[in-house]
Structure 1
Amino acid sequence: MRTELIEAAIRLLEQDGPEALQTRRVAAAAGASTMTVYTHFGGMTGLLDAVAAEAFSRFGAALGAAAFTDDPVADFFVMGRAYREYALANPQRYRLMFGLTAPGAGKPGYVMDLTTETPDDAVGADTFGHAITAAERMIAGGHIRSDPPRQVAARLWALLHGAILLEMAGHFGAEGQSAATVLGPATYDLLVGMGASRERLEQSALEANRRTGKGAG
């Protein structure tokens, strides 16, 4: 029943937005009583935490799906595309994960601090770990300067997150345009600023294109 309640909440969230995440509606969608929500989660706050945890778990699985190669920059580009695709395919879920549309007042309890070490069981910690690993591998390969990997990962995450939220809101024009005209070039600029060779970045991007079957950007 716990799993069914989480799945029902995710379905309602994607179909009708965060306003649909009400105890009675979620319970009804799962074929349960409202008391079941309190029994398993202590109320809607606990259920929202569980929904965010499940969403982050699926997000992390998407980011970690590609195998590592001997080109960590291409691997990062592949992961970045998986990030963007997940967010655009699940916009309501993505916003909830980052506390942007959580029902109720105040910041949700599952928002983690990307700049400091977080407990392994913190919601989203495993998912952000994929970004840290990508940063570590690019640093170890000599592609970018050796800043603290967590800080590098936070910078890259912030770039992806900000650009994708603007794309979701329609500020970058035609669908898919931002990858080629904003997000891609901005990622190049950030990595070049950290010591990467633009020529090598372009080679890695071509490899990422080949692996994902995508066009440039």
Structure 2
Amino acid sequence: MARDSTATDGPANDIPDRLIAAAVAMLAEEGPSAIKARAVAARAGMSSMVVYNYFGGVPELLSAVEDHGFDQLGQAFAEVGASDDPVADLFTMALTTLSYARANPHLYDAMFGLSTRATYRPTSAKGERRAGHSPAFNTAYAHVVEAATRLGSVGGLAVEDPRAAAGALWSFVHGYIALELSQHFAEFADPVRQVLVPMGVTFCVGLGADHASALASHETALRRAWHPGP
């Protein structure tokens, strides 16, 4: 039996986190159609009214779930750090994003709305798509922009506008991820090496990188992302 919204095991400020955790778990197990106020609240051991009391409704709860995902992605980007090879750093972030999407496909779709037709597309009061205005999104994306900036300042590439360079990288990486999640690369034995790496190398060569050095940096990223450690 669902508990009353005032009956909790912890402090009141723990309730939003418990609801988000329940929604994330249900999203992973059942997909976006499972995210209903009553179901999420029951999973968290509460009454459905807590969803409305703390979030306003299911779309707002899903916005908080998206922010949870961007917080995790931002933390993963921060762990990549900044080496003396910004190309490797950027591609390590790309592979980190791919790993996150593979492990959390429904959450990834809720965050970016790319791989499937999600039930909810949260918007602001002005009708804007919310992700580009979310502080959690912006914090995560700032790591990408900073790394793109270092392509010029450290890597010596021709980066006139780091935000445009970051946007171009962001576009082809998420395009690849959306297609991979939709099984469009089934004919490739290793689509990351056969499709994603060549795109990344071509992107860097377009900014003035030597092909061999760009490829070496991508190989470094593959080792860092797939086999982390000393």
Q: Normalising by the residue count of structure 2, what TM-score does the alignment of the two structures yield?
A: 0.83
Give the equivalent residue in structure 2 for 1:190. 203
SS at match of 2:79: coil
1:33 matches 2:47: yes
1:153 matches 2:166: yes
Question: How many residue pairs align between the two structures?
Answer: 207
Please show how residues 127-138 of structure 1 align to structure 2 within 5 Å: 127-138=140-151
Q: How far apart, CA to CA, are the structure 2 residues paired with 1:189 and 1:60?
A: 26
Q: How far apart, CA to CA, are the structure 1 residues paired with 2:73 and 2:144?
A: 12
1:16 matches 2:35: no
Aligned partners of 1:99 and 1:107 also within 8 Å: no
Spell out, residue by residue over 1:163-200, the C-alpha distance to the aligned partner (whole angstroms, 9 max, x if none): 01100010001687220111110111111112111121
Q: How far apart, CA to CA, are the structure 1 residues paired with 2:48 and 2:226?
A: 46
Q: Which runs of 5+ in 1 are unaligned?
A: none
Q: Decide whether aligned partners of structure 1 residues 212 and 162 sit closer, same or farther in structure 2, where only a CA change above 3 A counts.
A: closer
Give the equivalent residue in structure 2 for 1:103. 119
Aligned partners of 1:111 and 1:123 also within 8 Å: no
1:108 partner amino acid: T
Q: Percent identity?
A: 36
Q: How far apart, CA to CA, are the structure 1 residues paired with 2:18 and 2:188?
A: 34
Aligned partners of 1:143 and 1:197 also within 8 Å: no
Spell out, residue by residue over 1:10-58, the C-alpha distance to the aligned partner (whole angstroms, 9 max, x if none): 0111110000011111011111001111111111122111111111101
Q: How far apart, CA to CA, are the structure 2 residues paired with 1:130 and 1:176?
A: 31
Question: Rg larger in 1 or in 2?
Answer: 2
Aligned partners of 1:27 and 1:34 also within 8 Å: yes
Q: How far apart, CA to CA, are the structure 2 residues paired with 1:112 and 1:64?
A: 19
Spell out, residue by residue over 1:84-113, the C-alpha distance to the aligned partner (whole angstroms, 9 max, x if none): 111111100000001354424x55345344
Spell out, residue by residue over 1:141-160, the C-alpha distance to the aligned partner (whole angstroms, 9 max, x if none): 24421221111101000000
